[in-house]
């Protein structure tokens, strides 16, 4: 695929099956030895070549039998039904990782570890979130429901705040860590409760994260 200039800026929500903090963020093996995750992005401003992507949303369910880098993963994309044909092609091209520089984005890195890509689903997607407040809700048709909330101190009951700072990360620069839950019912079922969640102001293009 020919390289096309693109950029998406917006809100990103991720919930996986690891404990809070997620060892993968530190190049360690996942908490339970495998990885299951939902990623959802609400684009505030974005483009793919001449195609505008403002206001659209997409989500991904992903699953690996071991650590991500060990491969044999599978994924499924959910694309905002409001997207026209060009916008759908653009979003799927970004998600494929083929329009990123090798290793530069999480789209490209994850794609290199997948052996099965389920057919994409075009459907209503609603994503609301506040990074600083660590609050989010995600609804993908009647197929996925997810939420994020602040981690609570088990002694005082007060909200706990923690951030992950990745100066050379391929997904984000800084993310807020939260308490996430997800139920997904399509080709990659997920049942996650009280597990790692991170939220970030996503800003990424084919060369990687914009700083």
The confidence score (pLDDT) of residue 93 equals 97
Residues 196, 32, 106: CA angle, nearest 5 degrees: 55
Q: Provide, rounded to the nearest whole percent, the portion of the chain with pLDDT above 70.
A: 99
The confidence score (pLDDT) of residue 2 equals 56
Q: Specify the pTM.
A: 0.96
User: How confident is the model over 132-158, as pLDDT tens digits?
Assistant: 999 999 999 999 999 999 999 999 999
Average pLDDT over residues 114-130: 98
User: How confident is the model over 33-87, as pLDDT tens digits?
Assistant: 999 999 999 999 999 999 999 999 999 999 999 999 999 999 999 999 999 999 9
Longest dimension (CA), the chain: 55
- Tell me: pLDDT of 1 over 70: no
The mean predicted confidence, pLDDT, of the chain is 97
CB atoms closer than 10 angstroms to residue 157: 7
Domain coordinates in residue numbering, the chain: 6-206
Residues 6+ apart with CB under 8 A from 49: 4, 5, 6, 90
Helices vs strands, H then E, count in the chain: 2, 16
């Amino acid at each position: 695929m020919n390289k096309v200039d693109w950029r998406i800026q917006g809100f990103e929500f991720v919930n996986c099956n690891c404990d809070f903090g997620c060892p993968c963020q530190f190049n360690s093996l996942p908490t339970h030895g495998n990885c299951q995750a939902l990623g959802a992005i609400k684009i505030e401003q974005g483009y793919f070549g001449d195609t505008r992507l403002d206001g659209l949303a997409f989500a991904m369910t992903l699953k690996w039998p071991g650590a991500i880098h060990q491969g044999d993963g599978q994924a499924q994309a959910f694309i905002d039904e409001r997207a026209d044909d060009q916008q759908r092609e653009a979003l799927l091209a970004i998600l494929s990782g083929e329009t990123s520089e090798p290793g530069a984005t999480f789209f490209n890195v994850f794609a290199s570890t997948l052996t099965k890509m389920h057919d994409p689903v075009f459907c209503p997607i609603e994503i609301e979130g506040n990074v600083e407040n660590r609050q989010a809700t995600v609804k993908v048709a009647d197929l996925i429901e997810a939420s994020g909330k602040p981690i609570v101190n088990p002694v005082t009951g007060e909200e706990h705040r923690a951030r992950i700072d990745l100066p050379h990360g391929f997904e984000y620069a800084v993310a807020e860590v939260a308490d996430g839950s997800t139920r997904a019912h399509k080709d990659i079922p997920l049942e996650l409760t009280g597990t790692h969640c991170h939220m970030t102001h996503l800003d990424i293009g084919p060369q990687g994260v914009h700083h």
